[in-house]
Amino acid sequence: MDRIALIGLEFHAYHGFHPEEGKLGARFVVDIEMGLVASKTDDLRDTVDYSAVYSLVRKEVVDKQYQLIDTLANQIADVLLMTQPRIMELTVRVHKPHAPLPGIIRDVYVEVQRQR
C-alpha cells in the first residue's frame, strides 16, 4: 500500500468539554495518513487531491464544534472516506497541544484508523 500524508495541519478552533474552551478556543493539529495505490500517471484524477483533503479537514475543524477530539477525529475520517474513494486505509490524528490539564504536558492526541 502506498501512502500520502498531510502532517501538521494547524487550526485555531473551539473544541472542548470545558465552557472556556468553547469561548477562547485553542490550537489543534491534525495529521492525515492515507493508504492508496499511488498514481502511475501524471493525472490528478488518478490519485487523492490533497488540496481537497485539506479543505475537507479545515471545514470539519474550523466550522464545527465538538466537545471531544475523539468525535472530531471520527468525523474527519468519515468525511474523507465518503468523499475520497481512492483512500483504502486512513489514519487521522487530532492533537490538542497544551490541553487544560493540571500539569505540564506537550500534547494529547486521538488517533483513529479505518480501512475499506
Q: What is the pLDDT of residues 85-104, one digit of tens each?
A: 999 999 999 999 988 888 98
C-alpha to C-alpha distance for 16 and 36, rounded to whole angstroms: 32
Average per-residue pLDDT for the chain:
95
pTM (two decimals): 0.94
Residue range 45-61, pLDDT digits in tens: 899 999 999 999 999 99
Question: Any idea which residue has 487530532 for its cell?
Answer: 94
Q: Is 96 a catalytic residue?
A: yes
26-52 residues labelled b (16+ CB within 10 A) or e (exposed)? bebbbbbbbbbeeeeeeeeeebbebee
Question: Choosing from 23, 40, 64, 96, which is the catalytic residue?
Answer: 96
Q: How far is CA 108 from the centre of its chain?
A: 14
CA proximity to 11, closest of 44, 54, 51:
54
* Cα 74 to Cα 40, 71, 81, 84, 88, distances in angstroms: 31, 5, 11, 15, 16
With respect to CATH, is domain 2-115 assigned 3.40.50.20?
no
- Please answer whether residues 32 and 57 qualify as being in contact, where contact means their C-beta atoms are separated by less than 8 angstroms: yes
